[in-house]
Amino acid sequence: MNIVCANCFTTNHIPDDKDHNKGKCGKCQQGVYSAKPVELTSNNFYAFIERNDLPVVVDFWASWCGPCQNMAPVFSKVSQDSPTLLFAKVNTEQIQQIAAKANIRSLPTLVFFHKGEEIDRISGGLNEIQMKQWLGQSLQKISK
């Protein structure tokens, strides 16, 4: 399995018989997996969503967006409970070109990527149950 280090964004290969949650980066020697959402920038966005074998859920948000602020703790909590997914955040105020390329029209928007391909998206604030249901539906789409 390939997993992009949540710290230095180097791609690491984790053998199939090893737990990706415990893998260390060959470059920075820190844990490659983060249960916390990773802040993405224009420099690492594409590497993170394209090079990971695990699905990546990206929260497109802005500081002025009330529903974004309300959903942020839910997104963080769900990320802690989902060890087979990677979670990332994109501040659309700072990375406008990525948000434009991703065709983000409302905030917050969650986009579910697998190996660089968009599998699903949902806009609007979600509670924990709604987010977990949506993630389950998105995972079913890649297991077909």
pLDDT digits (tens, 9 = 90+) for 1-48: 999 999 999 999 999 899 999 999 999 999 999 999 999 999 999 999
Is 25 a catalytic site residue?
no
**Buried b vs exposed e over 16-31: b needs ≥16 C-beta within 10 Å?**
eeeebeebebeeeeeb
pLDDT above 80 for 144: no
Note the pLDDT tens digit of each residue in 80-103: 999 999 999 999 999 999 999 999
Domain extents in the chain: 1-33, 35-142
Q: How large a percentage of the chain has pLDDT more than 90?
A: 97
pLDDT the model gives residue 143: 83
**What global pTM score does this model have?**
0.96
Active site residue 8: no
State whether CATH 3.40.30.10 applies to domain 35-142.
yes
Which one of 5, 25, 28, 68 is the catalytic residue? 68
C-beta neighbour count of 79 within 10 angstroms: 22
Q: Which of 58, 69, 72, 56 is nearest to 110 (CA)?
A: 58
- Count of other CB atoms within 10 angstroms of residue 127: 11
CATH architecture of 1-33: Roll (2.30)
DSSP for 35-83 reads SSPEEP-TTTHHHHHHH-SS-EEEEEE-TT-HHHHHHHHHHHHHHHT-T
